[in-house]
Structure 1
Amino acid sequence: MRDLQALHRTLQELDGQGYGGYKRLRGTYDLGDFRLRVDRVQVDPYAPPSRMRAVFSPGTLGLPSEATADRERRVATADYLARRFHSAASNGHTSPGSAPAPAPRGRWGNGGSGEEARAVVAYPCGQEILERSTVLIDDDRVEIRFEVGLPAAGRRIKGRLADRILTQRLPAILDQALTPEHRDDPALLEHVRLYTDQLALQSALTGRGLVAFIDDGAILPRRSGDSPLPLTDSAVAFRSPPSLRTTFELPSGRTVTGMGVPDGITVVVGGGYHGKSTLLSALSSGVYPHIAGDGREWVLTRDDAVAVRSEDGRAVTGVDISPFISGLPTGADTRHFTTTNASGSTSQAANLFEAIEASASVLLIDEDTSATNFMIRDDRMKRLVPDHKEPITPFVERVRPLREHTGVSTVLVAGGSGAFFDVADLVIAMDSYRPQDVTRKAHAIAADSPWGDEADASDLHLQDVAPFRARTPRIVALGSLAPSSKTKPARARGRTEIQVGKESIDLSAVNQLVDAGQTAAIARAIEQLGNTGAGNGSTARNMALERAAQEIVNGVRAHGIDSLAGASEEHPGYLVAPRQQEIQAAVNRYRPLKLANGSR
């Protein structure tokens, strides 16, 4: 291990040399308060920045024992420190979800300006509190992972500037963000308590017969359709109708009161722009805890809830969609449905059953993003196209059997049809972002004007529809995730795409992926699964998809998210833990996927 003086000397010697000389920096340096480890050096000034980490002893940071007592608290503490570091590296200019911090200053000097100020690149955090690999908290060390753009003039090393970046700028950022004299310990502990309270409430939902909770005072609207930040001007605070109000007492001693959404079939109605889809969006993102001040920090949904929509053009491999679609004119077997180009209705049916296969206990569905012919068929259409000529049994006729036979609950936004009033356990009307319980009125309307006037014919039709029987697990040929033509590891391209060999997995419709780091982690998971199944002969493995995804999640819980990094010496500072549901969603959309029990 080299020391600070060795780092000074090396950078001074490199000044003016060719860019490749930066390779000499690889290794570990003792800088006093922390050790700097240079994991990877970029090959030229235009390549991705160099990857480095700062390693502290736990005693140096003085983290409170309450902040590191168990896995959940370490996740929250690491999330908090990652936000502090990002804010300090950004000179106090925060990104969505970042904790505020003034510009770095202190015993290591000021933060610099221009190229020097921009050189240290921290990984951003969103509104959700998630397990991130940016900060590692272990019994014997705390690591902060980041990137550094090593400076150059053309392709010549600017060694003196690099010296200031690594020996002044970087320590100043770390000093501001992490050391006890600058860290706001009360804010850290409040972040940890908020997270543990959120997890406690979320885990209590099932026992209370609820699928979700929204507190009184929540701010559900966002600033715009593409912004995760809460609306601040003229935002209407949420308030539960009396019939649905419930209270939770939490481990920290705090009490929260708001609307509980019960098990069963919940239909959300209301006029346009009154908050129906906003409510469903909040429930969809409520599978993750949110930071204080987000407005949705007390909007919590069961952590296995899945948003289901139509997705024209996606690939489907061996999914049983027969309870909704059967008797296709093409003769396709819908008990093991396979296509490289699904329609709106077949894609939504596949998405629904894949969600159930991924252990979802709650489905979240918006009429606006659904295939109309999958959702309903009105009387006029039935008279023109009889049921025996229509291969699709609409969701309105199957949502009640789905609930009764599988136990899965549904929260559905319906803005244009009252067809679901007959089958709803609860009907919520949104009026200017305020919910009202209108169940009795909706049921009275349904009784006065029932959906369909040929009940006997409808019952006869349903006798021919496949039941919601016990599903046979789909056994994935894991080797298909590692095609022989693949020369590079699977890798993410932003939040919505994964490249596996020559194939691209489109995840743009998987809207519960909220961080590009989750997509990067799923790419690592796919690589890991592919390597598991790419053995020779009898050593090749096949596995039920649900079990394969669960093993990945269990590995992360047991060994940390670094377990997805493999044997690489480079730090995996950009990874964010995904859910089992999104891992399975990615594998399901891989076009060359093969099953060992029947399809492709």
Structure 2
Amino acid sequence: MQSSTELKLKLQQIHKKSYPAYKSLRGAYDFGKFQLSVDHVQGDPFASPSNVSVSVPLKATGFPEEYYHDRMARTALEDALLRRFYAEVSKISFQAKGSGKSGLVSVTRCGQEILERSAMEIDKGRVTVRFEVGFPANGRTINAFELEKILFRDLPPAVERTLYYRNWKPQKLREVYELSQDQKAVREELKQRNLTAFIADGSVLPRESGVSQKPMKDAVKFASPESCRITLQLPYYGEISGMGIPRGVTLIAGGGYHGKSTLLKALELGIYNHINDDGREFVITDDTAVKIRAEDGRSVRSLDLSLFIHDLPNGRDPSCFSTEDASGSTSQAAAVIEGAEAGCRTFLIDEDTSATNFLVRDEFMQRIVNPKKEPITPFLARVRELYEQAGISTVLVAGSSGAFFHMADLVIQMDAYRPEDVTTRVNQLLDCYPLPDFGADDFKLPDTDRCFQIKTPEGRGRNRESSRIKIRVQGTDGFSVGFEQVDLRYVEQLINTEQVASLAGILKNIVKNPGTASIHTIVKGAWDALEKDGFASFLGHDLVCGYAKPRIQDIYMMLDRYRG
């Protein structure tokens, strides 16, 4: 460990030298109240900024031990610290001048959801924040005095105000802790009460706009139908009431623009905890829930689709089905089987993003196209069996087809964003609208453990070596590994580019060791390593900001979309 004085001396020595001389700064320095580490130095002022980290002994920070005693509390505290640090460094970014990214100081900008992120970590008795700094230069000539301003004048107050409890309003962090424990209690209640989801009365589900996840002002607040209302006793909030969605088959119906998809979207994101004042703090969904939708053009590998597809006209075997260009119905059937394979206990489906011929087939169509000539068994014919025999619940939004009324345990009608339980009224009408016989075979969920031959992605020159596999992340749309593209556009519960970056890192780690293994073995190996070693499981010792933890279901879905 070097002293901060030695860092100052180094800066004086490299002032006005060519930019590569900045690499001599790599290492750790003692600043007294914190330790600063220069982890990676950018190649020039126009390249990606340098990676810097600051850490403080946990005991020195003064944060009460109960605020990080369990995983959910610790993640909530890390999230709060990261939001404060973002606000602090935003004030000092670009105060130092120079070419390109000179003077940039940036860290992860958090959304409404609370995620485990590499940018802020409480582990091994230390609090560590990782961020980026654009090391200043004039052209490609080092301006070390400007970097000295950042590291010695601007950064210490930001660290002091963020990482020391004495500089926080105690009530602020108390609220963060209490909310995390209340959310944890709701998740435990879901399991104990056999619920798929809980939506608290007073929740604000509509968002501000299509590009903002903040709550809409003056929106209609959620109020549970009386027949669905349950009351929970939370450790800090106390008594809270709201709609409990039981396990089974739930149908959300209603006219256009009345809030059906808004409700489903809130349930999709209920797999994550949300921050205070988001409006969805107590919209809590089974954390294994997966949104199922059509994905025209995706690849499918060695999947048993016989539950939904049979007697293909070209003689192909649906029990070991592969394609590079799946249709909407085939891709959605594949997503159901893959979701079950990934341990999903709840499917979330919106009619608007589904293949109609996969969801349902009406009696008139049955008369025109003989069931023996139709290779697709619709989801409608399997949805009850999926729950009763496989334990997988379904929450489905439907606005045009009433066929699912026959299968639903609970029917919620949305009327101007207000839910109404119409199950009894629906049941009285079912005899007037009988369902056709789909002639479906006996239900049998595939129990095979698919094996894959993982190949190292193709590259050119030095990139052919597995250690030099290049990754490029394209927001939440997906990423490329080598020359292989992984399309994640329709994995809608990935809400942050940092989750995608983590999936890319996990896949890079997998393809470094090509060979044949079952999908469960591959995913379990990656997940166990992630649980044990965190982001270091795929980043090694070069931990940097820019990564967020995905779910185990996300790893399965990423692998299912990897064409290599």
What are the superposed Cα offsets for residues 234-275 of structure 1, whole Å, 9 maximum, x if unpaired?
200000001110111123362221000011110000111110
From 223, 239, 250, the equivalent of 1:239 is 223
Which one is further off, 372-381 or 37-46?
Answer: 372-381
Give CA deviations for 1:161-217 in whole Å, capped at 9, x if unaligned.
111011111112212222233223321232122112212211321220210000000
Looking at secondary structure, tell me which structure has more strand per residue. 2
- C-alpha distance in 2, partners of 1:481/1:475? 16
Post-superposition CA distance 1:298-331 (Å, at most 9, x none):
0000110100000000010011111111112222
Aligned to 2:406: 422
Contact 1:402–1:468 (CA<8 Å) still a contact in 2? no
CA contact (8 A) 2:473 2:500 kept: yes
Matched, 1:572 2:548: no
1:488 matched to which residue of 2?
Answer: 469
Q: Report the CA distance between 1:332 and its aligned residue.
A: 1.9
Shift of residue 483, structure 1, vs aligned partner: 5.9
Q: How far apart, CA to CA, are the structure 2 residues paired with 1:89 and 1:207?
A: 43
Shift of the 85–547 alpha-carbon distance from structure 1 to 2, 3 Å rule, reads same
1:492 and 1:282 map into 2 onto residues whose CA distance is: 26
Aligned pairs for 1:223-302 (under 5 A) are: 223-232=208-217, 234-252=218-236, 254-302=238-286
**For the residues of structure 2 that align with 1:470 and 1:312, how far apart are their CA atoms?**
23
1:365-412 per-position Cα deviation (integer Å, ceiling 9, x unaligned): 000000011111122222221111111111112212222221111000
Alpha-carbon distance between aligned partners in 2 of 1:113 and 1:403, rounded to the nearest angstrom: 58
Say whether 1:584 aligns with 2:556. yes
Matches within 5 A, 1:447-596: 447-452=431-436, 455=437, 458=438, 461-462=439-440, 465=441, 467-477=443-453, 479-480=454-455, 485=464, 487-531=468-512, 533-534=513-514, 540=515, 542-566=516-540, 568=541, 570-592=542-564
**Alpha-carbon spacing, 1:393–1:75, altered in 2? closer, same or farther (3 Å):** same
What secondary structure sits across from 1:90 in the alignment? helix
1:470 positional shift:
4.5
* Deviation of 1:138 (Å): 2.4
Aligned position for 2:192: 207
8 A Cα contact 1:562 1:572, kept in partner: no
1:171 maps to which of 153, 156, 166:
156
Structure 1 residue 466, shift from structure 2 partner: 5.7
Cα distance in 2 for residues equivalent to 1:543 and 1:381: 43
Query: Counterpart of 2:381?
Result: 397
TM-score, normalised relative to structure 1: 0.89
Seen in structure 2, the aligned counterparts of structure 1 residues 469 and 355 have a Cα distance that, compared at 3 Å, is closer
Alignment deviations for residues 262-303 of structure 1 (CA, whole Å, 9 cap, x no partner): 111100001111100011100000011111111111000011
Q: Check the 8 A contact 2:204/2:280 in 1, yes or no.
A: yes
Determine whether 1:47 maps to 2:47.
Answer: yes
Partner of 1:78: 78
CA contact under 8 A between 2:503 and 2:550: conserved in structure 1? yes
Deviation at 1:135, TM superposition (A): 1.5
By how many angstroms is 1:118 displaced? 5.5
Q: Between 466-475 and 483-492, report the one with greater CA deviation.
A: 483-492
Distance 1:490 1:112, change over 3 A: closer
Per-residue deviation at 1:77?
Answer: 1.4
Give distance in 1, aligned partners of 2:350 and 2:94.
49
Q: Which residue identity does 1:325 align to in structure 2?
A: I
Identify if the C-alpha distance between structure 1 residues 587 and 112 changes in structure 2 by more than 3 Å, giving closer, same or farther: closer
Q: Does the CA-based 8 Å contact 1:51-1:571 persist in structure 2?
A: no
**Whole-angstrom distance in 2 between the partners of 1:323 and 1:466:** 9
Measure how far apart 1:482 and its partner are.
Answer: 5.7
Q: Is contact 1:322-1:466 (8 Å) kept? A: no
**1:226, CA displacement in angstroms?**
3.2
**Cα separation, partners in 2 of 1:578 and 1:83, compared to 1, 3 Å:** same
Aligned partners of 1:401 and 1:468 also within 8 Å: no
Counterpart-to-counterpart distance in 2, 1:503 and 1:443:
50
Deviation of 1:39 (Å): 0.4
2: CA distance between counterparts of 1:184 and 1:476?
53
Shift of 1:491: 4.8
SS of equivalent residue, structure 1 residue 181: helix
Candidates 106, 118, 132, aligned match of 1:147: 132
Per-residue Cα deviation, 1:25-67 (whole angstroms, up to 9, x for no partner): 1111111211110000000011100001011112331111111
- More divergent stretch after superposition (184-193 vs 114-123): 114-123
The residue type paired with residue 474 of structure 1 is: R
* Cα-to-partner distance string for 1:515-553 (whole Å, 9 max, x where unaligned): 11111111121122233x43xxxxx5x433234323333
Whole-Å Cα distance in 2 between the matches of residues 299 and 282 of structure 1?
A: 7
Q: Please say if 1:184 is aligned against 2:169.
A: yes
The CA deviation at 1:562 is 3.0
Match for 1:480: what amino acid? K
Aligned AA (1:447): D
Residue 449 (structure 1) shift: 2.1
User: Separation in 2 of the partners of 1:70 and 1:432?
Assistant: 40
Name the CA distance, whole Å, in 2 between partners of 1:253 and 1:408. 31
Distance 1:297 1:173 in 2: 29
1:230: how far off?
Answer: 1.1
Which sits farther off after the overlay, 5-14 or 203-212?
A: 5-14
Aligned residue number for residue 363 of structure 1: 347
Pairing 1:318–2:293 present: no
Q: What is residue 34 of structure 2 aligned with on the other side?
A: 34
Over residues 75-130 of structure 1, what are the superposed CA-to-partner deviations in whole Å (9 max), with x where a residue is unaligned? 22111111111111123xxxxxxxxxxxx8xxxxxx88464996211111111111
Q: Does the Cα contact within 8 Å between 1:58 and 1:141 map onto a contact in 2?
A: yes
Partner of 1:97: none
Q: Which moved more, 1:212-221 or 1:160-169?
A: 160-169
TM-score (norm: length of structure 2): 0.94
Give the secondary-structure state (helix, strand or coil) at the position aligned to 1:38. strand
Overall identity of the aligned pairs, in %:
43
